[in-house]
Amino acid sequence: MINIVYCSNEKYAKYLCVTLYSLIEHTNSENNYNITILETDISDELKKDILSLKNGKDYININFVNVKQMLDEKENDKLFCHLYFTKEMYLRIFIPNILKDCDKAIYIDIDTMIMDDIAKLYQIDLEDYYVAAAKDFNSIVNVKFFDSINKYFNGCLKIKDMNNYFNSGVLLMNLQKLREINVVQKTYDILEKFKELLYPDQDVLNLICEDHVKIIDNNWNFVPLINVSLIQDETFQNLAAEWAIGLADRKLIHYISEEKPWDEPKRFYSAGWWKKAKETPVYQKLLSEYFQKHPEDLNP
């Protein structure tokens, strides 16, 4: 059984449809895929759209777990959020306790598009590592060019090895190990210590897992938007070569930052996402949403 987890609310459920459709499109009937969607308020209409993505594939199971009460608990007032982040981002921290009968799972952010069978990622041997993840190339580069970022990661968080700082948008999680170390309590402890974090859930996981992360090629978490210094500055020659592995063999594309393809269809990285969206039952909803925000783009 291949366990996969997404986290969503009503606002992001339409985008969830696109990444989930791309995942299902690349599944193999020789495997069984158990997809759990941790949600707070997804409507029955959108749930129906999501379930229709199975398209008769009986080797795929999609189930919804409502976690609103869990997020509303008093203790969760400590879950710091800012900018465009929401409390739902912390749900990946709770996965070991929610999937309490599973030893392993893949967590995937909604702003992604899958281009290969996710079972191949699941088959990576985690050994005793807490997680397997790809490097966050932008943060590694930004530490050199921005004093405030350098002070944050090296002075405040005191990351031991910034070259192993990983992106938390795609994680192969060792649920058994994460339960053993009580990752939820460790999260609260870190948030109590630092109060405010730049990339809240990601920074927390990096602090918890920094000695226990298996760094994998970024083809399973390829980020097209990068600090151009990665490929222009000779200092990062080796790092750029690692990033190029993902460029040459993209198995999963991750649209990080505030500029999402559903908001920026004219950007170079958006065409593939919209092409995939057109094949989903939420395409008309996505078009309607976009043109309501951008009526100037409607043809006369």
Q: What is the pLDDT along the chain (300 residues), one digit of tens a residue?
A: 999 999 999 999 999 999 999 999 999 999 999 999 999 899 999 999 999 999 999 999 999 999 988 767 644 555 545 444 556 677 899 999 999 999 999 999 999 999 999 999 999 999 999 999 999 999 999 998 899 999 999 999 999 999 999 999 999 999 999 999 999 999 889 888 887 778 888 999 999 999 999 999 999 999 998 888 988 888 899 999 999 999 999 999 999 988 899 999 988 889 999 999 999 999 999 999 999 988 888 775
Instruction: Please report the pLDDT score of residue 83 as a whole number.
Output: 46
Q: What is the spatial order of strands in the sheet that 131-133 belongs to?
A: 60-66, 33-39, 2-8, 104-108, 170-174, 131-133, 213-215
Q: What is the dihedral of CA 72, 167, 174, 88, to 10 degrees?
A: 10
Instruction: Please report the pLDDT score of residue 79 as a whole number.
Output: 58
Instruction: Please report the pLDDT score of residue 240 as a whole number.
Output: 92
Largest CA distance in the chain: 61
State the helix-helix crossing angle for 283-293 and 13-25, rounded to 10 degrees: 140
Instruction: Please report the pLDDT score of residue 193 as a whole number.
Output: 86
Composition of the chain by helix, strand, coil, percent to 5: 45, 15, 35
Instruction: Please report the pLDDT score of residue 296 as a whole number.
Output: 85
Instruction: Please report the pLDDT score of residue 110 as a whole number.
Output: 96
Instruction: Please report the pLDDT score of residue 73 as a whole number.
Output: 62
Topology at the third CATH level for domain 2-137+164-294: Spore Coat Polysaccharide Biosynthesis Protein SpsA; Chain A (3.90.550)
State the helix-helix crossing angle for 44-52 and 13-25, rounded to 10 degrees: 10
Instruction: Please report the pLDDT score of residue 272 as a whole number.
Output: 94
Residue extents of the structural domains in the chain: 2-137+164-294
